[in-house]
């Protein structure tokens, strides 16, 4: 079966002047990839009639489906709708669903005439409902090509992709059966993981792909298999996925697509445990990341941002002798930070970090990037020293990710 | 003068499967816009020979300059260099500078043969030095078009744009004179700012543009003027910029391009003041953002992540009666959180926040999005209530940005 090819066409000056970073395309690509449609090109053009017309023509020479985002607002520089009308030689007619939707959104406000235009849609298109905003999407078909127009607002676009476009693709297109398995690992680099699983990789069934998707301090591994029969695809994937997991038992963060913070939250909740942090160099980022999961207040009690030595000493009760003798960035200090946090916040677990993120503050003995992390309970504390080699921001992220991973591995182990 | 047009061509499968969000293009667009070059298109294609070749041809029909990023690594799926070699009918030769650079980077490691290939460059190109990695860039010229190839690694690409490409454009191209002024404001929405400065906007000299670049809780205003004479452009811009600032004295964060956290750091340092935080719903993010500026330890002492009521009471000494009578999300609680922080961290200023970010935890009286912020000293405390209407993540960012802005306005006022 020929793979179906799609191109993403983004309309809007804001993308060409660097004002906005395009996150829409990544979402669309992920959703379409998951159902077996290949994105072959992504193109952004400005709010310019000729450029957009030419791009529409061109993209149909590259792809079977063109997904357009942007240019659907009610102002005069939003040209997508009039252009598509002319492109498909059709006219605007009032759409009742779009009108009802519009009136619902403006229930307590006056509808200006230019907003009323949002209820007009090209006669030749299949309207795509927008449950999250005023601009409906449009679905055109001509000469075997599908042209889809969506708003540029990520939240509205995502609703259309999930609720309408992907289901309609699944119904109307001949798509391959495709399966994925994701393993999120922490603490090992790409090449170290490769060393462990190369032999496994070499024996993968024909057609199964393994991708390494590295991030700071973590690597996501993805198994992909195309096939004709979904049950068979899932059976083979499950078999290989189990083999892969068995090779990496000590570094697994999640095997179901969960992010680090979601995986950590589930581990803590299922064991009815609480956590607190004592953060020097990350200055609150670890607690903040833990808190980003809805319901985190069940297991995150709080923490201390111990940026100054005074806070380390007076609030966390790190001994002055420890700070003087070993320094703020030392195994002894992070250990005492864990103990102090457990004593004053009364959590089951505490995470403590102290390091030199740069660009300044390094020394021969403790260069920029030196970070100590401690994780533990009243009974035992694990510590680890890291030497990062990136800039301040990345060193901070690495510290955060490694600290969370250390706690996850302890909890997974305790649970086993 | 005809404006010079550029197109950005990004090579790499990772952009088409949604694995990576393209931040390079925004950077390139900003840097080129600043010297008067228009980006007319941005195109991403996979690591596929034919697709890339066609895209190269096509982009030259749209633009005078094509900037390619990606596909320069040492592995076999990195096809940019061999393709450009064939495209420009030239051959690879060893480049001495690239070799010296490579040996420097591998000083303590063995250079594998595929890495040695990084020192080979097409004969027909002007090499672009890479001070931050192994892959040199390439600059080709043919038929009046400029084709530039850079690595996809953002840090390396940025070095080439700043140190080599922009200076060479300035030297060799006839660029328009263009000037910008940026005013970062906090606390007022786009339309509220518009109400204040509409009359000013209406009287702007011909050719001067004003753009509103809204972000969460802040709006960046940009004045742009093209002209022939740089001195004249700057004189007119300064004049109008002063008028605009005079209309927004109470909401200015910075007038020199500084971010919120950099502006805050400068205000604290120049007044020799320190700050600490007490964060419930943001769980450390405010301290973390303050700490992201190198040297922040001069003014950030630390803080308390007071996620649980127990931490609010036991560590920050918020009274039990206050928590019982008014609740954790109340003016009284954030005020006592400020006082408690000042007492235990001994900073000059403290910021305290408490709110319900959602999706759960709201009530009729205090719906999701209710946030109280207090900022103050031992002498006085300012409080403000907010009602945000976004998701958890955006409500958290809004809380952070408004809290930082409140402190900035106090410090700017105290300084005046």
Taking CB atoms and an 8 Å cutoff, what residues of chain B touch A292? 392-393, 396
Residue pointed to by tokens 């019982």:
B324
Q: Is the dihedral of CA A331, A332, A335, A341 positive or negative?
A: negative
The answer to whether B18 contacts A26, with C-beta atoms less than 8 Å apart, is yes
pLDDT of B412 higher than 90: yes
Residue B365 burial (CB count, 10 A): 8
pLDDT of B328 higher than 80: yes
Burial of B191 (0-12, 13-18, 19+ CB in 10 A): exposed
A vs B: CB pairs below 8 A: 228
The answer to whether A305 contacts B282, with C-beta atoms less than 8 Å apart, is no
A323 lies in the same domain as A304: yes
Q: What is the DSSP letter of B163?
A: I
Mutate to test the interface with A, among B10, B17, B404 (most CBs of A within 10 A): B17
Nearest residue in A to B27, CA atom = A18
For B201-264, the DSSP string reads HHTPPTTEEEEEEEETTEEEEEEEEEES-HHHHHHHHHHHHHHHHHH-TTTEEESSS--HHHHH
pLDDT of A100 higher than 70: yes
Nearest residue in B to A213, CA atom = B19
**Final residue belonging to a domain, choices A120, A155, A172:** A172
pLDDT of A47 higher than 90: no
B280 lies in the same domain as B398: yes
- Find the angle CA(B339)-CA(A303)-CA(B381) to the nearest 5 degrees: 20
Instruction: Look up residue A363 and give its two tokens.
Output: 């020394």
More confident residue, B202 or B17: B202
Cis status, amide bond into B359, omega within 30 of 0 = yes
Q: What is the DSSP letter of A269?
A: H
Q: What is the DSSP letter of A316?
A: T
Nearest residue in A to B18, CA atom = A26
* B393–A contact, CB cutoff 8 A: yes
pLDDT of A410 higher than 70: yes
A167 lies in the same domain as A183: no
* Residues A132-171: tens digit of each pLDDT: 888 899 999 999 999 999 998 888 999 999 999 999 999 9
Whether A211 contacts B14, CB under 8 Å: no
B111 lies in the same domain as B44: yes
More confident residue, B36 or B245: B245
The answer to whether A307 contacts B300, with C-beta atoms less than 8 Å apart, is yes
The answer to whether A285 contacts B285, with C-beta atoms less than 8 Å apart, is yes
Q: What pLDDT score was predicted for residue A297?
A: 96
Q: How many domains does chain B have?
A: 3
**Final residue belonging to a domain, choices B149, B172, B195:** B172
Helices (H), B248-374: 260-270, 285-291, 309-314, 320-326, 331-345
Instruction: Report the share of chain A in percent with pLDDT over 90.
Output: 74
Residue environment code for A360-399, b if the CB has 16+ CB neighbours within 10 A, otherwise e? ebeeeebebbbbbbbbbbeeebebeebebebebebbbbbb
CATH number where B118 lies = 3.40.980.10
Residue pointed to by tokens 């020192």:
B119
The answer to whether A302 contacts B308, with C-beta atoms less than 8 Å apart, is yes
Cα B213 to Cα B211: distance, rounded to the nearest angstrom: 6
* A298–B contact, CB cutoff 8 A: no
CATH number where B293 lies = 3.90.950.20
Taking CB atoms and an 8 Å cutoff, what residues of chain A touch B69? none
Mean pLDDT of chain B: 93
* B16–A contact, CB cutoff 8 A: yes
Nearest residue in A to B214, CA atom = A19
More confident residue, B76 or A3: A3
B379 lies in the same domain as B350: yes
**Which of A35, A77, A66 shows the shortest CA–CA distance to A177?**
A35
Distance in Å, alpha carbon of B238 to nearest chain A alpha carbon:
23
Q: Which among B27, B43, B277 is the nearest to A305, CB-wise?
A: B277
Distances (CA, A) of B82 to B44, B102, B116: 19, 19, 15
CATH number where A196 lies = 3.30.70.2860
Backbone angles phi, psi at A363, to 5 degrees: -140, 175
Instruction: Look up residue A292 and give its two tokens.
Output: 């980003």
Cα B253 to Cα B236: distance, rounded to the nearest angstrom: 23
Backbone angles phi, psi at A138, to 5 degrees: -135, 140
Mean pLDDT of B331-347: 98
Please give the residue range of the domain that contains residue B377: 260-415
The answer to whether B305 contacts A40, with C-beta atoms less than 8 Å apart, is no
pLDDT of B251 higher than 90: yes
Whether A392 contacts A357, CB under 8 Å: yes
Band (A76; pLDDT cuts 50, 70, 90): low
The answer to whether A315 contacts B39, with C-beta atoms less than 8 Å apart, is no
Cα B264 to Cα B285: distance, rounded to the nearest angstrom: 15
A205 lies in the same domain as A292: no
Whether B67 contacts B9, CB under 8 Å: yes
B141 lies in the same domain as B165: yes
Q: Which among A17, A25, A283 is the nearest to B29, CB-wise?
A: A17
Q: Which among B10, B23, B31 is the nearest to A21, CB-wise?
A: B23
Q: What pLDDT score was predicted for residue B198?
A: 92
The answer to whether B297 contacts A304, with C-beta atoms less than 8 Å apart, is no
pLDDT of A77 higher than 80: no
Distance in Å, alpha carbon of B93 to nearest chain A alpha carbon:
30
Mutate to test the interface with B, among A12, A16, A28, A395 (most CBs of B within 10 A): A16
Whether A85 contacts A72, CB under 8 Å: no
Mean pLDDT of B34-57: 93
The answer to whether A19 contacts B55, with C-beta atoms less than 8 Å apart, is no
Whether B248 contacts B187, CB under 8 Å: no
**Least reliable range by pLDDT among B9-23, B30-44, B84-98:** B9-23
Q: What pLDDT score was predicted for residue B110?
A: 73
Mean pLDDT of chain A: 93
Band (B23; pLDDT cuts 50, 70, 90): confident
**Least reliable range by pLDDT among A114-118, A249-253, B290-294:** A114-118
pLDDT of A42 higher than 70: yes
Distance in Å, alpha carbon of A285 to nearest chain B alpha carbon:
6
A134 lies in the same domain as A62: yes
* Residues B181-236: tens digit of each pLDDT: 999 999 998 888 999 999 999 999 998 989 888 888 999 999 999 888 889 999 99
pLDDT of B35 higher than 60: yes
* B20–A contact, CB cutoff 8 A: yes
Cα B338 to Cα B351: distance, rounded to the nearest angstrom: 6
Burial of A308 (0-12, 13-18, 19+ CB in 10 A): buried
**Which of B405, B406, B408, B397 shows the shortest CA–CA distance to B282?**
B397
B290 lies in the same domain as B247: no
A220 lies in the same domain as A331: no
Distance in Å, alpha carbon of B391 to nearest chain A alpha carbon:
10
B402 lies in the same domain as B313: yes
Distance in Å, alpha carbon of A93 to nearest chain B alpha carbon:
31
Q: How many CA atoms lie within 13 A of B211 on its CB side?
A: 13
**Final residue belonging to a domain, choices A172, A191, A214:** A172
Cα A366 to Cα A246: distance, rounded to the nearest angstrom: 37
Cα B277 to Cα B353: distance, rounded to the nearest angstrom: 8
B279 lies in the same domain as B218: no
* Residues B111-156: tens digit of each pLDDT: 777 678 888 999 999 999 998 888 899 999 999 999 999 998 888 9
């Amino acid at each position: 079966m020929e793979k179906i090819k799609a191109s993403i066409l983004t309309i809007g000056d804001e993308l060409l002047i660097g004002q906005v970073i395009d996150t829409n395309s990544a979402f669309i690509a992920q959703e379409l990839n998951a159902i077996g449609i290949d994105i072959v090109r992504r193109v952004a053009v400005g709010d310019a009639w000729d450029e957009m017309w030419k791009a529409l023509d061109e993209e149909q020479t590259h792809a079977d489906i063109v997904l357009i985002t942007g240019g659907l607002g009610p102002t005069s520089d939003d040209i997508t709708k009039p252009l598509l009308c002319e492109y498909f030689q059709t006219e605007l007619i009032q759409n009742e669903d779009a009108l009802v939707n519009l009136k619902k959104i403006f229930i307590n406000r006056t509808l200006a005439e230019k907003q009323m235009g949002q209820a007009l849609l090209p006669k030749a298109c299949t309207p795509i409902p927008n449950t999250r905003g005023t601009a409906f999407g449009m679905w055109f078909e001509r000469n075997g090509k599908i042209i889809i127009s969506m708003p540029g607002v990520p939240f509205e676009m995502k609703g259309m992709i999930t609720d309408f476009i992907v289901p309609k693709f699944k119904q109307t297109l001949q798509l391959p059966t495709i399966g994925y398995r994701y393993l999120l690992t922490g603490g090992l680099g790409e090449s170290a993981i490769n060393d462990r699983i190369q032999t496994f990789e070499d024996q993968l069934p024909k057609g199964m792909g393994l991708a390494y998707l590295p991030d700071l301090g973590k690597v996501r591994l993805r198994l992909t298999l195309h096939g004709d029969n979904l049950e068979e695809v899932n059976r083979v994937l499950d078999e290989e996925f189990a083999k892969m997991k068995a090779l990496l038992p000590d570094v697994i963060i999640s095997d179901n697509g969960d992010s680090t913070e979601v995986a950590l939250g589930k581990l803590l909740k299922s064991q009815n445990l609480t956590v607190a942090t004592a953060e020097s160099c990350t200055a609150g980022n670890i607690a903040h990341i833990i808190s980003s999961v809805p319901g985190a207040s069940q297991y995150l009690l709080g923490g201390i941002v111990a940026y100054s030595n005074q806070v380390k000493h007076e609030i966390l009760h790190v001994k002055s002798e420890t700070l003087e003798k070993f320094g703020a960035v030392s195994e002894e200090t992070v250990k005492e930070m864990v103990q102090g946090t457990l004593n004053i916040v009364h959590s089951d677990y505490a995470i403590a970090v102290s390091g030199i993120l740069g660009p300044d503050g390094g020394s021969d003995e403790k260069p920029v990037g030196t970070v100590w992390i401690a994780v533990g309970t009243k009974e035992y504390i694990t510590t680890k020293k890291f030497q990062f080699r990136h800039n301040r921001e990345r060193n901070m992220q690495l510290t955060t990710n490694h600290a969370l991973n250390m706690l996850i591995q302890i909890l997974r182990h305790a649970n086993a």
